[in-house]
Structure 1
């Protein structure tokens, strides 16, 4: 067969024997006088793209292969030439030369696309192809699980599966993949694997992963020192400016996908996953996993599961909020505050020292009604419901995760398949014999780990103190600014609301700034700890970042929920910080302020993240693709090659998926930990997540370079974090209901003080009396007119009592009731959680059966291989005799 540019003859192998293959001299290699290389073998059944057979094929298909049209591009490197006389450029050239020689020594095949033919006339591209023997060798090293036999287990369809489902994807477009039992790949038993076609046996994602493993270990030398280093990570941003696998082609087509079918998996994902009109459809998770790898696939599986679980939570939360709306006008305490002839005429003590005036309780009517929306009987039920919901969430996700581990062949990845990080091998010099496989490997001794982890812990503790300092700064701002607002006649009545809103915005800005600083610090500390595998590194980094983010985002909310108004003292003895009086809660409680803080931080954070995730890549891509647009203006017929189109796209950051998880887990914290104060949080989270799934899909498919198809067994340390959040949520909701809301005081009043066991007179009961003559000089208002006494929120004896301004017996009754509620609430939820965990098995029965069936088939394959080996040995002995 005669091919054009870069052509050579190919000969099909006579048997299944693996024949090493190397490319002909290409580009710069052809000028070096290398020996003539043997022809590349090609399987007879190959379906690889061929220029002779398909001369008019679309350009995107040609862009997936070398110039010969046979060898598929598995990875691309890009670099720019500097001044050849520059010492720095000489170092880069030598590193590239040695690195590429190392790749060829590993039997990878390279093809060069020089800058003269690129759009910007300055970027050189190196296309990399892994031949069949290399793929087989590294598939065995990496213990890739490959198809062994078709799954012959019977699937029983439920009655529900036969009903029309509007959420299902069109099965004519998204065809289900064949289901196979799998086993770790072994070249000696290759005939037992389900190999129909060598060109399609390994998916594009698997091929790129294999090439990346070689790239991450390929050697190069430092210019002048001749010191060997290795890994593409060390060269990126230096000798090379980019390294990436290719997308499978364009994501759009002139023809309808329903009429002509998808032109590639990227097109299929765009049409059936990334488009906004598909917002109500299930995600094609198997296609996502096939295209982007298991790690990204598991993230979207978890996000889909979480979003589905939010539906009942959102419905119940909305019902609780509607209950507040419908009963708001009939609430007795709120009505008493709003009516002048009742508690509305009560004179309240000033909100700040000297310049603040007395005020009537009826002026806070609207504030009180708004507080009731989030502090009513339905709130207690909803908090209990969400505590149980979090338990169900963890248990059901555990089952779903086991299904994913089996279906995607990652159940033993971390224990059996994961390899040592190249950075660990490069930095750790001590060696020891692995007690399991008896091979020498680098290790970090216990004393070194202790020093490194202790250093990291001290730095983390310092940063957490810095965050708490920032929160205290916001608290001081609140204390100062509420006095400033209260002095202004126009806005004095809205001083608490304005203070909360502006302090929340200030807190959000501090959060974003500290996040940027801590990200770099956490990465450096995790590198200091020298983790052995990539999973261990990511888990260490995740734990540090989440601990910081937890304190960063939630500390101000915890302050409002549990501390504000409880440290301020009484009018005769106010407490001060930095010579400023500590702020008090409104007579209607602090719950509405907690709700505002939650809303500002939650919505502000998600709005900022959506900008960073979608708009920023779009803007960057528009700027980076200007050279392509300018070139097309001069030559309208010129179409960019696939590697050129992908090169100008934004690269997914190495920790890009971490921030996706972090955003959702922080949202999970808002939804569970403080849901008693904000029953609409699950509804807002549900709406956000529906949008988030499609925005993330659009970003991954259209705006980002194709990321490396990394493998993962589960969501990693995030599962432990979610369980911890669920425990904190039970405790937090119990204390919010008992301490922050007025549920317990109202309940005690009904049972002990109300003759009719209702809330008539509750407002007067919850306010204590203060004689203005007892004000300290620094707290005494300058203007007091004819007022002799004022009210404040507390349970203290009046000035006429012998126990003047001391806590009443009712205060201790209410405190006891609060603590009793916390204990009962927590123990009930814990007992129910244990019972639910006992009832729901961790592994579904069907998955257990399939695992046993697969293990049986693997054993049978081993027995057959041994029997075949013995038969061949006997035949050889007989032949020799």
Structure 2
């Protein structure tokens, strides 16, 4: 007998997802652009994989070809039917809110629990989730044993289980992959985003995904809950201008930082629970570039690539770590060389006969800044290569270890010079001037560079004109066999002569791929958005906030007004970031995250370090030393060491006292765990009853 859930699903999808000639091609969820020199048979081979059944290593997705002029790279539009998206959502273990308001794992057979009797299945998945699902399926088209290389490229070898799409992107055979903007949804979001006093976090999540939404939630929380009160206190400290109150201001700062980071951890866990990402673990789906021997997974029972964790750890600690340490040491030596050269030139400039001018004295700083910029670019490539070589299983693990490498290098390049000024030169006026320059001038320049410059460059550049498809009276639209249907498809039952006449310049092997209608607006949109810059993720945005965080709190004893300038910058920064995401960049692929990852640890490390640096700055400050003339130098230092240890102890107590998850989240997770156990118990009991009914009864003696 058919269960009510299965009957409901069959009724919902009856005739709606069948291969109908009149059914329109669904929205484009991913655009794939190939190199113009790529051999057509390689494209046709990949399309067969994309459209092929999953039982044979395919993805069962829908594909349409965009008209391009001869010599241009082939452009494909990839989509999927609603039913297929829901089935894949279950495979990816996406969590959705059911009719009872609980966030739980989506099950296709229990569709009614999520949409209700009259609910729309079209609204169950957001556009960001649909794009994520399609990209996930494309990335998980893996090479089989009969796929030793890409057709036409015998030197581009592949091993079994390797992601074909990632190989083609690495070899520059695929030049771009990006989702398209939903212009109506983007217009509504941007209008609300630009002018609203409160960040529309939920709308951002629905359109851009959890990673982008979490960044803006962190930026908003950091600006309002931490910078705003500390900016007020900093202004009061500036007005009072007394060194007697400065230690209390620094103590308030370091305690506020600790409380802020602990409360933020709770807030991020709240969001992760509400968004259904709190259960993400190292057992999640492997990332596309993860490679290993294809074996049956002991947890899920699925055939997945397996790689020893021990080998990853050996690569991390025996190869990557020494290389990173050497790079950090070299960066430190370059900084010292710059200071030494500047100091020597300053001494020479005092002699009029030396010929050294004030402009010459600035030369080491200019050369050092240029060198740091260039080295950062190469180090970023090195960090990415090393992290890729370490072969981490999940995307979150990969991002965490990559961020740690990059942040360590950025920290040395950004803050070591300030530490040198503070504790070697002990020149507080120079340190104060450097901090003011960084927080006022450079942040304004960065915002202009992020938003104004790309906008000007975009206005000066020419947007590609829309493609023109030759009209033909012999064209009629029919359903393409085995492709899920779609209107506006070129008829495939033509002879070779007629197809060549219909598609001049199109290789015959590609003429079996259905083509979009000539007037389909997605063709112009794909070209226009393909010319936009690629949004590389939230790393640069977090890095900007991280560096600002260091300026404000590592040296608050010297420059209490830093929080005020950071506050003013962030009020503008949130709008600048919103503008560049909505207008200047391609739509980023949604990423599901449960927290800020390595950034949480990075901010906590700076928070702990700020206790030491501020105590050290107060200790070496001459005005503070004059407040206790009766103490010997040793007693003075020991007093500040005691204060530093006391504050470290307070930080540890706060860390232990404030739980990571709110009570209601812990209760909700416990309920979900209990319900899962109950469901598993019922399933086992049902299996036992079914097996007892099938087993033959023993005859009585």
1:274-313 matches, within 5 Å, as: 275=194, 277-278=195-196, 281-308=197-224, 309-313=226-230
User: Equivalent residue for 1:349?
Assistant: none
The answer (yes or no) to whether the contact 1:647–1:705 under 8 Å persists in 2 is yes
Quickly say closer, same or farther: Cα 1:553–1:692, change in 2 above 3 A.
same
User: Equivalent residue for 1:136?
Assistant: 86
1:721 aligns with 2:615: no
The superposition leaves residues 63-84 of structure 1 with CA deviations (integer Å, 9 ceiling, x where unpaired) of xxx99535222222234644xx
The answer (yes or no) to whether the contact 2:34–2:73 under 8 Å persists in 1 is yes
The answer (yes or no) to whether the contact 1:652–1:707 under 8 Å persists in 2 is yes
1:321 aligns with 2:238: yes
The answer (yes or no) to whether the contact 2:8–2:112 under 8 Å persists in 1 is no
User: Equivalent residue for 1:583?
Assistant: none
User: Equivalent residue for 1:182?
Assistant: 103
User: Equivalent residue for 1:704?
Assistant: 585
- 2:401 pairs with one of 540, 549, 562: 540
Please report how far the alpha carbon of residue 856 of structure 1 lies from its aligned counterpart in structure 2 after TM superposition: 5.5
- Structure 2: distance between partners of 1:182 and 1:245: 27
Please report how far the alpha carbon of residue 504 of structure 1 lies from its aligned counterpart in structure 2 after TM superposition: 5.5
The answer (yes or no) to whether the contact 2:439–2:566 under 8 Å persists in 1 is no
User: Equivalent residue for 2:330?
Assistant: 466
Quickly say closer, same or farther: Cα 1:745–1:191, change in 2 above 3 A.
closer
User: Equivalent residue for 1:114?
Assistant: 67
User: Equivalent residue for 1:572?
Assistant: none
Please report how far the alpha carbon of residue 390 of structure 1 lies from its aligned counterpart in structure 2 after TM superposition: 1.1
- 1:404 pairs with one of 248, 271, 296: 271
- 1:235 pairs with one of 146, 164, 168: 168
More RCO (CA 8 Å, sep 6+): 2
1:269 aligns with 2:189: yes
User: Equivalent residue for 1:56?
Assistant: none
In structure 2, the residue corresponding to 1:531 is in which secondary structure?
coil
The superposition leaves residues 388-442 of structure 1 with CA deviations (integer Å, 9 ceiling, x where unpaired) of 11111111112111211111111111345x31122112xx34x666554465641
The answer (yes or no) to whether the contact 2:342–2:365 under 8 Å persists in 1 is no
The superposition leaves residues 499-552 of structure 1 with CA deviations (integer Å, 9 ceiling, x where unpaired) of 998766554434323212211111111122111111111111111111111111
Quickly say closer, same or farther: Cα 1:706–1:861, change in 2 above 3 A.
farther
In structure 2, the residue corresponding to 1:112 is in which secondary structure?
strand
The superposition leaves residues 10-58 of structure 1 with CA deviations (integer Å, 9 ceiling, x where unpaired) of xxx996239999xxxxxxxxxxxxxxxx994399xxxxxxxxxxxxxxx
- Structure 2: distance between partners of 1:731 and 1:509: 31
- 1:421 pairs with one of 255, 268, 287: 287
- Structure 2: distance between partners of 1:695 and 1:532: 34
User: Equivalent residue for 1:100?
Assistant: 47
Quickly say closer, same or farther: Cα 1:644–1:432, change in 2 above 3 A.
closer
1:598 aligns with 2:465: no
1:644 aligns with 2:561: no
Quickly say closer, same or farther: Cα 1:198–1:303, change in 2 above 3 A.
same
User: Equivalent residue for 1:8?
Assistant: none
In structure 2, the residue corresponding to 1:562 is in which secondary structure?
helix
In structure 1, the residue corresponding to 2:76 is in which secondary structure?
strand
Quickly say closer, same or farther: Cα 1:511–1:381, change in 2 above 3 A.
farther
1:787-826 matches, within 5 Å, as: 813-826=631-644
The superposition leaves residues 541-585 of structure 1 with CA deviations (integer Å, 9 ceiling, x where unpaired) of 1111111111111111111111126xxxxxxxxxxxxxxxxxxxx
User: Equivalent residue for 2:423?
Assistant: 562
TM-score (norm 2): 0.79
User: Equivalent residue for 2:347?
Assistant: 483
The answer (yes or no) to whether the contact 2:444–2:569 under 8 Å persists in 1 is no
In structure 1, the residue corresponding to 2:597 is in which secondary structure?
coil
The answer (yes or no) to whether the contact 2:28–2:77 under 8 Å persists in 1 is yes
* Residue correspondences, number: 617
Quickly say closer, same or farther: Cα 1:522–1:81, change in 2 above 3 A.
closer
User: Equivalent residue for 1:454?
Assistant: 318
- Structure 2: distance between partners of 1:871 and 1:646: 58
CA RMSD between the two structures: 3.7
- 1:218 pairs with one of 141, 146, 161: 141
The answer (yes or no) to whether the contact 2:465–2:524 under 8 Å persists in 1 is no
In structure 1, the residue corresponding to 2:115 is in which secondary structure?
coil
5+ long unaligned stretches in structure 1: 1-12, 22-37, 44-65, 83-88, 152-180, 250-263, 328-375, 566-589, 632-636, 753-812
User: Equivalent residue for 1:377?
Assistant: 244
In structure 2, the residue corresponding to 1:241 is in which secondary structure?
strand
The answer (yes or no) to whether the contact 1:508–1:604 under 8 Å persists in 2 is no
The answer (yes or no) to whether the contact 2:205–2:212 under 8 Å persists in 1 is yes
- Structure 2: distance between partners of 1:217 and 1:307: 40
Quickly say closer, same or farther: Cα 1:815–1:543, change in 2 above 3 A.
same
The answer (yes or no) to whether the contact 2:372–2:413 under 8 Å persists in 1 is yes
Please report how far the alpha carbon of residue 96 of structure 1 lies from its aligned counterpart in structure 2 after TM superposition: 1.4
The answer (yes or no) to whether the contact 1:147–1:194 under 8 Å persists in 2 is no
Please report how far the alpha carbon of residue 110 of structure 1 lies from its aligned counterpart in structure 2 after TM superposition: 1.0
- Structure 1: distance between partners of 2:549 and 2:26: 47
1:199 aligns with 2:117: no
- Structure 1: distance between partners of 2:347 and 2:442: 28
- Structure 1: distance between partners of 2:576 and 2:73: 31
In structure 1, the residue corresponding to 2:99 is in which secondary structure?
strand
1:660 aligns with 2:541: yes
Quickly say closer, same or farther: Cα 1:626–1:500, change in 2 above 3 A.
same
- Structure 2: distance between partners of 1:191 and 1:310: 46
User: Equivalent residue for 1:150?
Assistant: 100
1:674 aligns with 2:595: no
Please report how far the alpha carbon of residue 610 of structure 1 lies from its aligned counterpart in structure 2 after TM superposition: 2.8
In structure 2, the residue corresponding to 1:675 is in which secondary structure?
coil
User: Equivalent residue for 1:387?
Assistant: 254
1:831 aligns with 2:692: no
- Structure 2: distance between partners of 1:875 and 1:193: 33
1:501-650 matches, within 5 Å, as: 507-564=368-425, 590-603=427-440, 605-607=442-444, 609-622=446-459, 625-628=462-465, 641-650=524-533
Quickly say closer, same or farther: Cα 1:73–1:14, change in 2 above 3 A.
farther
- Structure 1: distance between partners of 2:520 and 2:315: 59
Please report how far the alpha carbon of residue 449 of structure 1 lies from its aligned counterpart in structure 2 after TM superposition: 3.9
In structure 2, the residue corresponding to 1:209 is in which secondary structure?
helix
User: Equivalent residue for 1:776?
Assistant: none
- Rg larger in 1 or in 2? 1
- Structure 2: distance between partners of 1:197 and 1:872: 35
- Structure 1: distance between partners of 2:187 and 2:687: 46
Quickly say closer, same or farther: Cα 1:235–1:621, change in 2 above 3 A.
farther
Quickly say closer, same or farther: Cα 1:560–1:723, change in 2 above 3 A.
same
User: Equivalent residue for 2:491?
Assistant: none
Please report how far the alpha carbon of residue 608 of structure 1 lies from its aligned counterpart in structure 2 after TM superposition: 5.1
